[in-house]
Amino acid sequence: MNPDFSGGDAWIDLASAVFMVVGALLSLGAAIGLLRFPDLMSRMHAATKPQVLGLFLLLAAIGLQMRTWWVWPVLAVAWIFQLLTVPVSAHMVGRAGYRTKHLHRELLAADELEAVVQKAAAEAARRDNHDDGENHQ
Amino acid sequence: MMPVVLAVTAVIFSLAAGGAIIRIARGPSLLDRVLAADVLLAILGGALCVDMAVNRHLNNLMLVVAISIIGFIGSVTVARFVADRRVNPHES
């Protein structure tokens, strides 16, 4: 009826189409990163792209296509839930990768976990020696 | 415009899923495979989102949330499993 409304509709369609294609390209970028990066840490860097920004773009495309306001809080809850769970699993995988030495040390710019690990190992060794001394007495 | 977007995203998601599956098959360590499986789940969720956006329904939204929960629990569980298999915990 009103050409302004149909023009706005076309623009919303265009925006959601761009969101969908860019979100899909982020998935492709993650796959290329998984295939080409040399070790676990850099692959983790690539893997996070579709989980956070890609999902955000695709959920925004759903919200734009549905043309209703009540759907946005539901989509926000879905995205925030992903945002809360992804760092925890990435932390666990990164720790496990560090402990099992699945990393190329020469590629690291900084290793802030090294000092913590050394300190904990020294602490544990000191405690073991202390316990042995008490047992012998 | 929507059928074109659907075709383009289908091709891109297929290539991405193929790359993730290659990394699952080839991955030198267990953690690489877990990471690639997580990415594969993210790609699946993205494909469900595109389906919802193109066809204008919300039937799969709970499935997308459930997929993120499954990916979270899966990677955390396997990461604990790998961390507990160390021979000497005081090394490293």
**For residues A86 and B12, what is the distance between their CA atoms, to the nearest angstrom?**
23
pLDDT band at B79 (very low <50, low <70, confident <90, very high): confident
Any domain includes B91: no
Nearest-Cα residue of chain B relative to residue A47: B39
Task: Report yes or no: A61 at the B interface, CB cutoff 8 Å.
Answer: yes
- Interface contact B76-A81, CB threshold 8 A: no
ipTM associated with this complex? 0.83
Nearest-Cα residue of chain A relative to residue B87: A100
Q: Residues of A numbered 65-84 whose beta carbons fall under 8 angstroms of chain B's beta carbons: which are they?
A: 65-66, 71, 74-75, 78, 81-82
Nearest-Cα residue of chain B relative to residue A86: B72
- Interface contact A61-B82, CB threshold 8 A: no
Any domain includes B47: yes
Any domain includes B89: no
User: Domain-by-domain residue ranges, chain A?
Assistant: 3-104
Any domain includes B88: no
Give residue A74's identity as a one-letter amino acid code: V
> How many residue contacts between A and B have a Cβ separation below 8 Å?
178
Task: Name the domain count of chain B.
Answer: 1
pLDDT band at A106 (very low <50, low <70, confident <90, very high): confident
In the DSSP assignment, the letter for residue A107 is G
Check if the beta carbon of residue A14 is closer than 8 Å to that of residue B1: yes
Q: Residues of A numbered 109-128 whose beta carbons fall under 8 angstroms of chain B's beta carbons: which are they?
A: 117, 121, 124-125
pLDDT (tens digit, 9 = 90+) per residue, A20-34?
999 999 999 999 999
pLDDT band at A1 (very low <50, low <70, confident <90, very high): very low
Check if the beta carbon of residue B54 is closer than 8 Å to that of residue B6: yes
pLDDT band at A135 (very low <50, low <70, confident <90, very high): low
Q: Is B51 exposed, middle or buried (0-12, 13-18, 19+ CB in 10 A)?
A: middle
Any domain includes B79: yes
- Interface contact B46-A86, CB threshold 8 A: no
For residue B32, the chain A residues in CB contact (below 8 A) are 40, 43, 102
**For residues A10 and A17, what is the distance between their CA atoms, to the nearest angstrom?**
10
Alpha helices, DSSP H, located in B1-92: 2-26, 30-55, 61-83
**For residues A29 and A63, what is the distance between their CA atoms, to the nearest angstrom?**
24
**pLDDT greater at residue A18 or residue A109:** A18
Nearest-Cα residue of chain A relative to residue B42: A51
Q: Is B59 exposed, middle or buried (0-12, 13-18, 19+ CB in 10 A)?
A: exposed
Region B32-49: mean pLDDT is 92
**What is the model's pLDDT at position B91?**
44
Locus of tokens 């773009």? A57
Q: Using the predicted structure, report yes or no on whether residue B92 has a pLDDT greater than 50.
A: no
- Candidates B39, B44, B49; CA nearest to B75 is B39
Any domain includes B34: yes
CA A107 to chain centre: 20
Q: How many angstroms separate the most distant Cα atoms in chain B? A: 60
pLDDT (tens digit, 9 = 90+) per residue, A55-93?
999 999 999 998 889 999 999 999 999 999 999 988 888
